[in-house]
Amino acid sequence: MVLPEDVAKGQKPMAKPDAFNVLRTIEGGDLIVVADFAATGRPAASFHDLVPLLKAPHHIWETAPVRWGQEAGLSGVDQAERWLDGVRSSGLRVRALLGFCGGGVYAAIMADAIARWQDRPHLVLFDPGFAKRQMLVEHLESFFRRLSAAFTPEQSAQAHAALRAADEGGAEPLGLADRLGVLCQQILLPAIIRAGYSPAASGETANLVNGYLHWLAGAISLDPSAGWGFATALNSASPNAGLEDTPPAERASLFAKSIDFDVAHRDLLRTPAVAQTADDLLS
């Protein structure tokens, strides 16, 4: 492992970071870490859309979740430390961390940690928001609604009853994610197959949902407020996105600077003006 002090000695970065998806590799330059739980086919743009619009001459790595089956019991601190291990091992100076939605929580925690061994990296957040327990239930419930045609009335009633039972069990977020993960296999997976998808594709989707639930549950236990105080927030105009449910006065005090864009949440990371602003902040 490359220790932080080895960065100054010119230690070569590792070629293939295990905990990241590499979105840009260049000769020289620093490292930009982007935090998100990107999923193919989601309506909201991801950093895969933003990065081609950025001119920043730096390596760009996207945080990757653990492989399916390894999520249980991983706290938010555990997940952040996994990525921090990869950053330390790279030998690269971290130029900035970027976070989208709940990824802004993890980005702030990592920025605080990285500031202990180098100068504080830039922190740029896109529609940042706090992760909340009810989001776990709402996420799985949204899949049940989208697949409503694949449920008989009896199956639908049973699915929602199981969801309520998991929610009312009083489990803390990681425990609730475990319970909902069981429902992903017992209820969501068969429903996707009934909707006409292959068992393989259905299994991948169910596993992806389970991974997201554990990623989100980990973020709920983290307090990003210290790191957010150094951040610039780039906000969409969509209601119910980011911190829209936080009083404006309180929202303004959370970040060093906030910039609003008249674009929808789903388009924030694919909008050229947003990319230009991010480039200016990273320069």
Residue partners of 209: CB distance under 8 A and separation at least 6: 139, 140, 143, 184, 188
Q: What is the pLDDT of residue 12?
A: 52
Domain closes at, from 220, 245, 274:
220
Domain closes at, from 199, 220, 241:
220
Are 67 and 82 members of one domain? yes
Q: What is the pLDDT of residue 33?
A: 98
Domain closes at, from 168, 189, 220:
220
Decide: 150 and 191 in contact? Cβ < 8 Å: yes
Are 38 and 110 members of one domain? yes
Are 17 and 84 members of one domain? yes
Q: What is the pLDDT of residue 9?
A: 44
Q: Distances from the Cα of 255 to the Cαs of 32, 225, 231, 251, in angstroms?
A: 20, 8, 5, 8
Residue 147 structural domain: 134-220
Query: What is the pTM (predicted TM-score) of this model?
Result: 0.90
Q: What is the pLDDT of residue 41?
A: 64
User: pLDDT truncated to tens, each residue of the chain (283 aa)?
Assistant: 333 443 444 445 455 788 999 999 998 899 999 999 977 667 899 999 999 999 999 999 999 998 877 888 899 999 999 999 999 999 999 999 999 999 999 999 999 999 999 999 999 999 999 999 999 999 999 999 999 999 999 999 999 999 999 999 878 999 999 999 999 999 999 999 999 999 999 999 999 999 999 999 999 999 999 999 999 999 999 988 887 767 777 777 899 999 999 999 999 999 999 999 999 999 8
Are 122 and 13 members of one domain? yes
Are 254 and 182 members of one domain? no
Please give the backbone phi and psi of residue 180, each rounded to the nearest 5 degrees, phi first.
-70, -30
